Structure 1
Amino acid sequence: MAVLLVFASGSTVASAAPDSADPGLAPAAWTATYDGPQPYPDVNIQWDVPLTMSDGTVLKADVYRPADASRAAVADKTPVLINITPYGKLASMLVTTALSEPVLVPFAIELVNSINFTGTPIAGIDDLKRALSSGLLDSFGVDQQLVKSGYTYVVVDARGTGFSQGQWNVLRDREQQDTIEVLEWARTQPWSNGKLGMTGISYSGINQLQAAAQRPAGLEAIFPVVAGADIVRDVLAPGGGFGITFIAAWLASVNQQKLIPDVQSMLTGHFDWKWLGDRVSDPVTYVPQVLEALLLPSVDQMSPLTRDLITAGNSVRDAYSTPLDQIEIPTMAVAGWNDLFLNTGARMLDDLTGVPDDRKKLIIGDGYHFTVGSDMGGPGEPPRINTLQKAWFDKWLKGIDNGIDRYAPATIHSYGNGWVQSDDYPVGGQSYRRLYLNPAPSGTAAHAVRDGSLTTAPGDRRENWTISPGLSTICSRDAAQASVGVLSIFTGCAEDNRLAESNALSFTSSAVSEPTRISGRINVHLNTTTETPDGYFSVMVTDVAPDGTSTVVSSGQLVSTMRRYDPSKSVVAPNGDMIDPFYEIDISKPEPVVPGQPTVLEIGSHATDLVLRPGHRLRVDVFALNLLKGLPTGPSTSVAGFRPETVVLDPSAPSWVNVPSDRPIA
């Protein structure tokens, strides 16, 4: 398949003659099939169905079945879709009820969408508004259109959350075993035809990948949205920096909702006292571990579970790394360039080695965790998430030849270039090229601590540029990412990095004269010194427009003592340069630096896809901290404090950024 470039307006930029079987970017038939009348008029719901696990713990499930006009469940056996959630099936029900309200909710959405925030400091609200219509909420709740089209939908409270008994196991071995047992239960129910799929976003996408890697009987397709397969490197401690903002907010959310009792059971005299005892014994799962990891100066002072979380080679850490190469069933994944789990999402096609190309698809939009899909469903865009999901399950669970197996393997929203379809991601035709960090001023970043250049050769003199930890990155796209997109409403921060750059060392290329494609992961080879045996460096790569707007397109971070990487899992360019380091992240085995002695850091920066337009420039910003995205752990802080850090600009030992582009940038 040739690469097909599509602007948001829907105009085709370039394409070869497509295969007649190629459905294109947005097949109208899929949307019509989703939005049109379904074979079953209503939905029957069985509340709080008890599922007894092999250890005796009882989980609670709501079962949604196709129904006739009287809401009586039909006798037909159907495929079954399973969503296992820690956020409470009560929340799923409330979302589903709201979405199914035929008059008030559509009116409310239309009213909200009629308010235009463009040009205001909170213009990012428009993306949040669009997310309401993207189909994302149907993946969080229960998609009643799917049920009416002939699927049974089962929503289960994960162990220790919602109305389920037990202690929250947070995606570890016992919870993974629960998932397999729930699938087997669903497969063997009298209303099931034995064909299973899994659905859901975030946590409910992670457990899809975990289950599929175990290849349980009956599981034939999954549709994970913003899901991760490497929890430590995705969100817990990317580059060794503790993901405090997201982790703290997420734990607070789940730990609060899991304490909400089943009021109906209290009123009917059937209250589950075992549920109450389990909540009393574990009221704030993982909160003590977070506090220990942040505050205790030594790993030896930490509890066994905390040590397992921050050290490598144990069952807890192993549970948080899903072997995607073990998955063999059809998988369509939806990711976002600004999502927390982009580290996993961007690798999905490469890592799903056991799945044929026609059975694995990747959608990457320009969204955050809460706004993914906000750029889908409009003209020149892929179909909504709910539409794609129905087409996917219709193909693999019902055998309907709707063409989704012929959809492009990679459908991505390229910065500055609209939606792109390709046989792979990264898009082909790129070569890795060095751009050196040069102390010669670019003349474009007077607002930064220091203004340097990116050039095709090292500078002609040695300089040491020092940077102090600061708070400016609170106003950045990384901060918006850590807040799952909530802070993205402030476009002055999320869409322009200049305020953050007031505390950065900035290095900017000359302007490109032709459209220049960049596709893939970026790596910054940084020669550094610190005053202590540890440091914390973060980088942001930006597209600088002629008017000076600096838009982040990739970012990464690294704690100096966590710089050790596994060569067997890392990727190097043909010339031997590191382009994708796979850090070991074992805080019990730090690799101290010698204060004042130059130390090279390979800072992996997230994958991206963009076209630098004529007149635009590429920039690398270097920071000494990365609030709100991360903080150093207690052992790192006890050694390093928050001391100034230095980038060594030495022609004999240069620093550079390795960029995959289709032509030289400078």
Structure 2
Amino acid sequence: MAEPLSTPAAPVPPNHRFDIGPVRYPKLFGATTVPIPMSDGAILTADILRPGDGAGPAREPLPAIVNFTPYNKMLNRHGMRWNDTLRAVGRRVGSSDRRRFTARDVLHTPAGGILEPFVINRTAVRRGYVGLMIDVRGTGTSTGTWDFFQPREQQDYLEAIAWVREQPWCNGEFAVTGISYGAIAALITAGLRPEGLRAVFAIEAGEDPMRELGLTGGVPTPGMLLWILAVTGSKWLPSVPGLLRAGMTGQFLRDRIADPAGWVRHAIEIGLTERHPDSFLNPMWAGKLARFADITAPTWIHGGWHDVYNRSNFRMFDRIPLSGGAKQVVVDDSYHLTVGSGLGAPDSPQAIDELQCAWFDRWVKDIDNGIDRYGPVTVRRQGDGRWLRHPVFPDPAATRQRLYLNAEISGAAAHAGTDAGLSSTPTDTGSRLPLPTGRIRMASNNTGVMSMGVTLLFGRRFGTDDRHAEAGAVAFTSAPFTTDTVLSGPMNLHLNVEVEGADAFWSVTVCDVEPDGASVPLTRGALLSSLRAIDAAASEYVDGELLFPLHTLTAESALPVPPGVPFVVDIEINPTEALVRAGHRLRVAVSRSSFPRHLIPPWLRRTITGQAIVLDPEQPSYLTFRAAPAD
């Protein structure tokens, strides 16, 4: 394996261009629905893209880039034909100034190169790699039963890779990559340490998908069921010519008929059954996680502040025991379907397909291109769109701060359910602020997050102005900042609360309030009161104060919720890096729902009645965060 540079060298800036060399192979040769037999009789299928010239595919063996997907590689293959056209259209649309992420930036996304690594990165293949996309078990044109990230699927990763390494066109070395599911699969693979693995490039992965998406704060996400429905539906759209060619038709049909709906029924049961065992974190979910501490291959993690997995980019980075530039984390101001928007612009990092190629060149081919002098933490700061390099995250210059919640009218949130204050000193008067009830407000940044950025096309209320959603919230707003201030890292909202029923749900959004009143979401968090128990050893403390609580979210650790008696909840707020300019305000909006980000099941909804924030001088409520003066 290539080693980090042994002699210190100057770090390179975020917009540095790494040399990936010219195209070595002018032609591409594809093989589709290639069968890969598994030890238990199931058959995975792969699309394989090899480089070559007029004489045919390259005769010398090359390293492979492997991407595991549940999203039906056949559909992706057909979509890949539009990559060049969509990239050209994205370039014509152009980017905004990126101070805020806008609808224009959604349309500009393909220009950043993301469509290449989503399937098979032709930029890399043309420079001397073999690209593979493999349908995971029970999806696309692969046989078997789909059970995402289960141990048998993880064994499939190893067996498929062993098959790849035995092929005459592979030199025995390979990298793994993917977006979302594929990125998680890549990290799981890396934690299994297969022989020949040289590098990982994980785009929008999650450390713990159920904690971050499926059961966020202890409440189901409706998007999870929609995702399962989409994967299950696409497994009925195989490559028929591929099945016939491989003689797999009978086995494919038997497996699909034996398990027609896959996870759909189980997902519905989890949502509708009171205290279903899988509606909590448990050993089954734990068995689907990557072993980050076991990863030894150089790893690139790429995420976004408004991605559904934005909670864990830095946690994954910190848990991987590598140094010397062999691990990198890049976080953009983007959503799940807009990753890479703006990359390739003069003041931004290189296009993501080229970054991936450069990363693999360094660690798979041992080309000293300097990419291990990048970062290792590279972020696009919210508020001004500036790309920054840090040695660690949060920004070492940021220190712990508190802002206290109070009942004083800020004068900046007349639109909110309740207008309240946020100040540097605790309140000296007691009060009780009930959370508003009312209709669901779909026009919100939570909808923007769950639509993966698509609904930003319908206006600012889905991305950069959450005032419509705040009509159903208590909005605690600070006085205008007197200096430019940078928020860096995770946050904790420490709330003293009181409820009337047997449980209560708390949804929190932290916003930068502009002088014109626009409430721009920066980050968010949520928690079900009965699941407020904290794993103290795994939580993050600064100067003895809780800053990033890790809730256990297990059935065994559920706590009683005493009606009419105040109690404390600590709500983890996802990390961010944001500039709050002088004249702007900071807002903490607390509500009792956040559909479609969270869906409170009917059985749970019946237990939730009134809920309120209790502002008590003896038991103050406050936001803890890190901040530093802007440079």
Bin of the TM-score, shorter chain as denominator length: over 0.9
How far off is 1:317 after superposition?
1.3
CA contact (8 A) 2:61 2:171 kept: yes
The partner residue of 2:38 within 53, 71, 81 is 53
In structure 2, the residue corresponding to 1:133 is in which secondary structure?
helix
* Equivalent position of 1:138 in the other structure: 116
Give the structure 2 partner of residue 8 of structure 1.
none
Deviation at 1:329, TM superposition (A): 1.2
* Compared CA separation, residues 470 and 426, structure 1 to 2 (3 A): farther
Report whether the alignment pairs 1:504 with 2:488: no
Deviations 1:6-53 (A, max 9, x none): xxxxxxxxxxxxx864332222343xx36xx41111112122221111
Which residue of 2 is the match for residue 216 of structure 1? 194
Matching residue of 1:520:
489
- Residues 29 and 215 (structure 1), Cα distance of their counterparts in 2 relative to 1, 3 Å cut: closer
1:645 pairs with one of 589, 601, 611: 611
**Does residue 264 of structure 1 match 2:245?**
no
Q: Which amino acid aligns with 1:350?
A: D
Match of 2:266 in 1: 289
Following superposition of structure 1 onto structure 2, how do residues 97-112 of structure 1 map, counting pairs within 5 Å?
Answer: 97-99=81-83, 105=85, 110-111=88-89
1:361 match: secondary structure: strand
Q: Deviations over 1:588-619 (max 9, x none)?
A: 65312111111111000110101111111111
Shift of 1:351: 1.8
Would you say the 8 A contact 1:506–1:621 is kept in 2? yes
1:132 deviates by: 1.1
- Once residues 95 and 553 of structure 1 are traced to their aligned partners in structure 2, the CA distance between those partners, rounded to angstroms, is 33
Instruction: Tell me the residue number matched to 2:553.
Output: 585
Residue equivalent to 1:559: 528
Looking at structure 2, the residues matched to 250 and 165 of structure 1 have their Cα atoms a distance apart, in angstroms, of 20
CA pair 265-399 structure 1, distance change in 2 beyond 3 A: closer
Contact 1:366 1:375 in 2 (8 A): no
Contact in 1 for aligned 2:17/2:349 (Cα 8 Å):
no
- Report deviation, 1:169: 1.8
The TM-score with structure 2 as length reference comes to: 0.94
Q: Kindly indicate whether residue 254 of structure 2 is the aligned counterpart of residue 277 of structure 1.
A: yes
Equivalent pair of 1:77/1:192 in contact (CA under 8 Å): yes
Matched, 1:328 2:296: yes
Where do 1:171-570 residues align within 5 Å? 171-244=149-222, 246-265=223-242, 270=247, 272-299=249-276, 307=277, 309-314=278-283, 316-352=284-320, 354-417=321-384, 418-489=386-457, 490-570=459-539
Question: 2:29: which partner in 1?
Answer: 44
CA contact (8 A) 1:205 1:227 kept: yes
CA 312–109 in structure 1, closer or farther in 2 if over 3 Å, else same: closer
> Match for 2:291: what amino acid?
P
1:168 matched to which residue of 2?
146
Residue 632 in structure 1 maps to residue 600 in structure 2: yes
Q: Check conservation: 2:90, 2:111, Cα contact below 8 A.
A: no
User: Compared with structure 1, are the counterparts of its residues 361 and 112 closer, same or farther at alpha carbon in structure 2 (3 Å cutoff)?
Assistant: closer
User: Could you tell me whether the CA contact under 8 Å between 1:448 and 1:505 is conserved in 2?
Assistant: yes
Letter in 2 for 1:649: L
Q: CA deviation at 1:124?
A: 4.0
Tell me which residue corresponds to 2:17. 28
TM-score by length of 1: 0.89
Give the secondary structure class of the aligned counterpart of 2:395: coil
Residues 232, 320 of structure 1: 8 Å contact kept: no
CA contact under 8 A between 1:472 and 1:499: conserved in structure 2? no
Contact 1:297 1:637 in 2 (8 A): no
**Is the contact between residue 378 and residue 390 of structure 2 (CA under 8 Å) also seen in structure 1?**
yes
Instruction: Label 1:431 to 1:117 Cα distance change in 2 as closer, same or farther (>3 A).
Output: closer
SS class of match (1:358): coil
SS at match of 1:194: strand
Q: Distance in 2 between matches of 1:533 and 1:285?
A: 34
Task: Describe the SS at the equivalent of 2:57.
Answer: coil
How many residue pairs align between the two structures?
A: 619
Partners of 1:260 and 1:298 in 2: CA distance: 35
Structure 1 residue aligned with 2:579: 611
Q: The residue matched to 2:613 in structure 1 has which SS?
A: strand
Alignment-derived partner of residue 4 in structure 2: none
Write the distance in 1 (CA, Å) between the matches of 2:263 and 2:164. Answer: 30
SS at 1:153's partner residue? strand
Indicate how the Cα distance of structure 1 residues 204 and 437 shifts in structure 2: closer, same or farther if over 3 A, else same: same
Name the CA distance, whole Å, in 2 between partners of 1:98 and 1:320: 34
Given that 2:69 and 2:135 are in contact with CA atoms closer than 8 Å, whether structure 1 keeps it comes out as: yes
Let me know the Cα RMSD of the aligned residues. 2.2
- Flag structure 1 segments of 5+ consecutive residues without an equivalent: 1-18, 300-306
Structure 1 residue 127: Cα displacement: 1.8
Shift of 1:426: 1.2
Q: Name the counterpart of 2:3.
A: none
Written as runs of structure 1 = structure 2, the 5 A alignment for 1:67-106 is: 67-70=52-55, 72-99=56-83, 105=85
Change (3 A) 1:313 1:290: closer
| Letter of the 2:202 counterpart | P
1:129 deviates by 1.7
Which amino acid counterpart does residue 647 of structure 1 have in structure 2? I
Counterpart AA for 2:48? V
1 CA distance for matches of 2:171 and 2:433? Answer: 66
Report the secondary structure of 1:662's partner residue: strand
Offset of 1:425 from its aligned partner? 1.6
> In 1, Cα distance between the equivalents of 2:509 and 2:492?
11
For the 8 Å contact 2:225–2:268, the answer to whether it is kept is no
**Structure 2 residue matching 1:273: 3-state secondary structure:** helix
- Distance across 2 between alignment mates of 1:135 and 1:372: 9
Distance (Å, rounded) in 2 between the aligned partners of 1:517 and 1:505:
24
Amino acid at match of 1:402: N
Unmatched tracts of structure 2, length 5 or more: 1-7
CA distance in 1, matches of 2:151, 2:65: 22
Distance 2:110 2:596 in 1: 26
Q: 2:186–2:200: 8 Å Cα contact kept in structure 1?
A: yes
Whole-Å Cα distance in 1 between the matches of residues 364 and 243 of structure 2?
39
2-structure distance, mates of 1:111, 1:148: 23
Flag the 1:145–1:366 CA change in 2: closer, same or farther, 3 A.
same
What is the aligned partner in structure 1 of residue 624 from structure 2? 658
Give the percent of matched residue pairs that are identical in Structure 1 and Structure 2: 33
Deviations 1:152-193 (A, max 9, x none): 111111000011000002111110110011111112222211
CA offsets 1:208-265 (integer angstroms, 9 cap, x no match): 1101111111111000000112011111111101111x21221121111110132225
Letter in 2 for 1:458: P
Aligned residue type for 2:624: N
- Contact 2:66–2:132 (CA under 8 A) maintained in structure 1: yes
Deviation at 1:111, TM superposition (A): 5.0
1:127 partnered with 2:105? yes
Shift of 1:298: 4.3
Q: Aligned partners of 1:495, 1:337: CA distance in 2, in Å?
A: 13
- For residues 150 and 252 of structure 2, the distance between their equivalents in structure 1, rounded to whole angstroms, comes to 20
The structural deviation recorded for 1:347 is 2.1
Taking a change above 3 Å as real, the CA distance of residues 348 and 589 of structure 1, as seen in their structure-2 partners, is closer
CA distance in 2, matches of 1:355, 1:660: 26
